Amino acid sequence: MANAHVATVTLSGGAFWMGNEGVGSYAQDGEGPRHEVLLDPFGLSATCVTNEDYAAFVSATGYRTDAERLGASFVFGGLLPDDFPPTRGVAAAPWWREVLGASWKQPEGEGSDIEGRMDHPVVHVTWHDAMAFCAWSGTRLPTEAEWEYAARGGHADAPFPWGDELEPNGAHRMNVFQGRFPGENTEEDGWAGTCPVQTFPPNGFGLFEMTGNVWEWCADWFATDTYRNSPLHNPRGPDRGQARVMRGGSYLCHASYCRRYRVDARSANTPDSSAGNIGFRVARDL
């Protein structure tokens, strides 16, 4: 049974077309070929797991996340004070800063907390941390196929959970980066970092923030040729790998460098990685 704090939605499954190899796709991510998938019914949480949810888990179990044990995690530099002392960055993405003390309960490091953010998605959780929550709550992580089916919300070919347009009628429908990345964020959608769950309207299946806000861990190992070898029925990804699938994009995605705030976009990270824009939602068998 899912944790009482995490609302779940029953999804009927069935056949759908997964993947993308058209305009705007990233071939290097293995987004194609587009292929048919058949899923059994399953349940999925309506929102990402929140700080409140994760706090209940930690209170019940005494669990310490990987970031807490390591003593550091990665934070977007734009969320740190201008006078924040220099720290190690990421060579390929210098806007990420390794921050001592950063964890799920101190998202920007020592001196920060989650007071006033209990309804935001938990971040700075590794794949292993997400799996620990699942084991406690009687849930599991969704497969990549389940995640995409759910994110589409019944739209067969649209890139976004609500349809074809990024901002229909000028309205923001998800939390992503506006302005010039990484130095100028206009925050036109109302948020610089994470936003509370259920900030934006749900998709056709009643699921919130399936794109934007935070990347979401999936159960599968990642490979760029996954779709070329994927079975039709309940695909579960490769048997082994180096990184786990992440889906949905985050508040840092921007068309200029990372147009992965689409339902068919893919990314991945090693299962021991944590950052201030990675969270998860849970699934369950029916």
Instruction: Quote the CA–CA distance of 95 and 93 in Å, as a whole number.
Output: 5
In whole angstroms, what is the distance from residue 121 CA to residue 279 CA? 6
Which domain, by its residues, includes 230?
Answer: 8-285
Number of domains observed in the structure of the chain? 1
Please indicate, yes or no, if residue 2 is contained in any of the structural domains.
no
17 in a structural domain? yes
Tell whether 182 is covered by a domain: yes
Q: Which own/partner contact pairs does 74-78 have at CB distance under 8 Å and 24+ positions apart?
A: 74/98, 74/99, 74/102, 74/274, 74/275, 74/276, 75/99, 75/102, 75/107, 75/108, 75/109, 75/275, 75/276, 76/182, 76/193, 76/252, 76/276, 76/277, 77/182, 78/182, 78/183, 78/185, 78/192
pTM reported for the whole predicted model: 0.95
Query: In the β-sheet with 72-76, what is the strand arrangement from edge to edge?
Result: 72-76, 93-100, 89-90
CA 42 centroid distance within chain: 19
* Residues 158 and 263 sit within 8 Å (Cβ to Cβ): yes
Quick check: is 90 in a domain?
Answer: yes
Is position 229 within any domain? Answer: yes
| Residue 146 resides in a domain | yes
Q: Are 18 and 37 contacting, i.e. CB atoms less than 8 angstroms apart?
A: yes
Q: What is the CATH number of the domain that holds 68?
A: 3.90.1580.10
pLDDT tens string, the chain, 286 residues long: the values are 344 456 789 999 999 999 998 877 899 999 999 999 999 999 999 999 999 999 999 999 999 999 999 999 999 999 998 878 777 667 677 889 999 999 999 999 999 999 999 999 999 999 999 999 999 999 999 999 999 999 999 999 899 999 999 999 999 999 999 999 998 999 999 999 999 999 999 999 999 999 999 999 999 999 999 999 899 999 999 999 999 999 999 999 999 989 999 999 999 999 999 999 999 999 999 9
